[in-house]
Structure 1
Amino acid sequence: MSPDLIARLVCPVTRGRLRLNENKDFLISDAASLAYPIRDGVPVLIVEEARHLDEAS
């Protein structure tokens, strides 16, 4: 994912910034303690699809 796209995306819960995890397979919302999956290069920003940070590792 491009850094420009990541900078434009926000957490649907907090409207806060997201960051890409080390493996580049999740977008992390530190404010909500959620990890949103990236599937086939597409971020899935659906709360029901997100994992709690402790589950995402």
Structure 2
Amino acid sequence: MTNEATDHNGTTKSTARVPEVDRKLLEILVCPLTKTTLRYDSAAQELISDKARLAYPIRDGIPIMLPDEARELADGE
């Protein structure tokens, strides 16, 4: 999906639009390892498990809830 945006010079550019994740889905998903609630990071398109210290990616609006696909959180994240 794309949107068109106009910059300050009047040039039209195509920008990618990130698909929205269903809010009801976000309410029921839990970390597959710890079974605890997840925190949604819309900017990074990730679901964060603070207890497991993992960030599960969201691709094309679909949460990828596989521990092997998650990235480990850095200290302070």
Normalised by the length of structure 1, the TM-score is 0.86
Superposed structure 1 runs of 4+ greater than 3 Å apart: none
Q: Which of 31, 46, 50 is the equivalent residue of 2:66?
A: 46
- The residue number in structure 2 matching 1:15 is 35
> 3-state SS of the aligned residue for 1:6?
helix
Distance in 2 separating the partners of 1:3 and 1:30: 19
Larger radius of gyration: 2
Structure with more of its chain in strand, by fraction: 2
Tell me which protein shows more helix as a share of its residues.
Answer: 1
Alignment of 1:32 with 2:52, yes or no, is yes
How many Å separate the matches in 2 of 1:30 and 1:22?
16
Distance 1:3 1:15 in 2: 18
Deviates more, 1:21-30 or 1:39-48: 21-30
Matched positions, count: 55
- Name stretches of at least 5 consecutive residues in structure 1 with no aligned partner: none
